[in-house]
């Protein structure tokens, strides 16, 4: 997983350097971290967790800045969501809507960071 996380970190910094400050590899071991953390210019962070069997979470933690969270994931706990398993926590844990992320982490990361960039620009 480290190789994929390194690729994602490089992509993020090269493409979204205007909104990012740094990247950390979190938990696990040096050769197999649990996730990556992208630090944003206003002090929030985006955690990216991927599993070998296709589970994922892209979690933008903004509680310290605005009280919000935004998370795209495919945990099986919202069966009434139109795009089940995929869903999006929009601002709060309890506000859940459809998510249209695909199967490709690079594409997903771009979609998520475009959302982040747009959201930051609107503030």
Pairwise pLDDT comparison (110 vs 81), residue with the higher score: 110
Can you tell me the distance from the alpha carbon of 102 to that of 115, in angstroms, rounded to the nearest whole number?
Answer: 15
Question: CA Rg, the chain, in Å?
Answer: 14
With tokens 């490709």, the residue in question is 104
3-class SS of residue 21: strand
Confidence of residue 30 (pLDDT cuts 50, 70, 90): confident
Can you tell me the distance from the alpha carbon of 107 to that of 55, in angstroms, rounded to the nearest whole number?
Answer: 15
Of 15-24, 62-71, 73-82, 104-113, the least confident: 73-82
């Amino acid at each position: 997983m480290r190789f994929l996380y390194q690729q994602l970190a490089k992509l993020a910094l090269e493409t979204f350097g205007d909104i990012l400050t740094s990247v950390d590899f979190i938990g696990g071991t040096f050769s197999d971290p649990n996730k990556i953390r992208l630090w944003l210019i206003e002090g929030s962070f985006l955690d990216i967790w991927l599993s070998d069997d296709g589970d994922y979470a892209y979690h933008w933690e903004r509680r310290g800045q605005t009280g919000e969270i935004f998370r795209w994931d495919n945990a099986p706990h919202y069966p009434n969501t139109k795009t089940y398993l995929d869903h999006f926590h929009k601002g709060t844990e309890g506000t859940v809507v459809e998510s249209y992320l695909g199967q490709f982490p690079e594409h997903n990361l771009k979609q998520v960071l475009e959302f982040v960039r747009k959201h930051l620009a609107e503030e």
